[in-house]
């Protein structure tokens, strides 16, 4: 299995074995092994192998490096930013609001004496997360690793829905709920009919907005769209649907694997249409940017 360019197909390339994943894990976690030769005083020590791997673009990964990244994603801890709900709960914190009705009830029961002032605060819940990932031909180098990422998110986030698209939208959350990563990815590949094909972002977002948005985008949801922005669809449709999606979520973040390049410029027409309507466009091209995403999701505030 690798991350090579794929011809249009409804199947993903085969998943790496557990033995290879274990080997990859040891490769990533071996911080004591320098990339340079310390026994030769003429060679300046450079980054460790794990540091180099964290900085390396997913699209350039070898099979063993894909396995290492897979192991890291399975161990990630995801904590979503929490939103206040309408429900009030009791608290002893002085900064909370005074619970006047309860204070009066207690005073009546105690003959008018007020022993303490009960307080209440709003209960907080993790924000729902929606992930919509491009699996078209231009994203073929990254598709498998992003499937691994979504599997990690499904098993590390309380409320999440996951979708992929090329020319059509497919919900893959039920498949990714399987605890075995290989089985989950295989089931997802059976659901999707347009791996490594064309790209119609606007039409796919329209399908999401009309079929799924009300069910999964409420309660202050955060939406992630993972795509390089290459699009063969109608740009008017894309403009309308990206605006509609933005109105329905608390925050919309565009994750672009090409944006990690220092020379990257958002010139393709899909990106030009999308950029004015997203809160942020961030790179998602290596393990370092993935770690930054984890921090971002834990602090998604206005």
* Predicted confidence (pLDDT) per residue in 209-260, tens digit: 999 999 888 778 999 999 999 999 999 999 999 999 999 999 999 999 999 9
**CA pair distance 2, 74, nearest whole angstrom:** 18
Quickly list H helices, the chain: 18-29, 49-55, 63-75, 100-109, 143-154, 173-176, 181-191, 201-211, 213-216, 235-248, 269-274, 287-297
User: Of all residues in the chain, what percent carry a pLDDT higher than 90?
Assistant: 51
Q: Write b or e for each residue in 196-226: b if 16 or more Cβ atoms lie within 10 A of its Cβ, otherwise e.
A: bbbbbbbbbbbbbbeebbeebbeebbbbbbb
Label residue 24 by pLDDT band (50, 70, 90). Answer: very low
Domain with CATH 3.40.50.410 in the chain: 1-81+127-302
Q: Give the separation between CA 289 and CA 57, rounded to whole angstroms.
A: 10
Position 73 confidence tier, pLDDT thresholds 50, 70, 90:
confident
Q: Is the pLDDT at 51 greater than 90, yes or no?
A: no
SS3 232: coil
**pTM for this entry:** 0.75
User: What is the per-residue pLDDT for 295?
Assistant: 85
What's the confidence (pLDDT) of residue 137?
A: 95
Residue 150: band (very low, low, confident or very high) from pLDDT cuts 50, 70, 90: very high
Asked whether the predicted pLDDT for residue 289 surpasses 60, the reply is yes
The structural architecture, per CATH, of the domain 1-81+127-302 is 3-Layer(aba) Sandwich (3.40)
More confident residue, 195 or 165: 165
pLDDT of res. 162: 98
d(C-alpha 129, C-alpha 252), whole Å: 10
Range 273-277 average pLDDT: 95
Angle formed by the axes of helices 143-154 and 181-191, to 10°?
A: 110
pLDDT at 219: 75
- What does residue 125 show for φ and ψ, rounded to 5 degrees? -130, 150
23 falls in which pLDDT band (50, 70, 90)? very low
């Amino acid at each position: 299995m690798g991350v090579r360019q794929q011809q249009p197909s409804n199947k993903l390339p085969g998943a790496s074995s557990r033995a290879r994943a274990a080997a990859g894990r040891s490769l990533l976690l071996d911080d004591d092994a320098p990339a340079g030769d310390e026994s030769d005083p003429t060679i300046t020590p450079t980054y460790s192998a794990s540091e180099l791997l964290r900085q390396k673009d997913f699209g350039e990964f070898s099979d063993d490096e894909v396995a290492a990244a897979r192991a890291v994603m399975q161990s990630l801890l995801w904590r979503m930013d929490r939103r206040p709900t309408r429900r009030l709960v009791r608290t002893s914190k002085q900064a909370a609001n005074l619970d006047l009705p309860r204070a009066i009830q207690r005073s009546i029961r105690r003959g008018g004496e007020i022993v303490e002032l009960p307080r209440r605060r709003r209960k907080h819940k993790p924000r729902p997360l929606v992930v919509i990932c491009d699996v078209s031909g231009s994203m073929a180098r990254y598709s498998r690793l992003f499937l691994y990422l979504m599997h990690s998110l499904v098993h590390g986030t309380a409320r999440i829905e996951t979708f992929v698209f090329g020319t059509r939208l497919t919900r893959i959350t039920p498949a990714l709920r399987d605890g075995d990563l290989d089985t989950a990815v295989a089931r997802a590949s059976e659901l999707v009919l347009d791996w490594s094909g064309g790209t119609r972002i606007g039409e796919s977002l329209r399908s999401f907005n009309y079929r799924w948005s009300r069910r999964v985008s409420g309660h202050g949801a955060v939406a992630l769209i993972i795509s390089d922005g290459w699009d063969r669809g109608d740009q008017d449709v894309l403009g309308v649907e990206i605006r509609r999606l933005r109105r329905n979520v608390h925050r919309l973040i565009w994750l672009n694997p090409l944006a990690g390049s220092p020379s990257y410029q958002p010139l393709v027409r899909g990106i030009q249409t999308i950029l004015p309507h997203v809160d942020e466009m961030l790179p998602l091209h290596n393990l370092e940017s993935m770690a930054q995403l984890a921090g971002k999701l834990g602090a998604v505030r206005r």
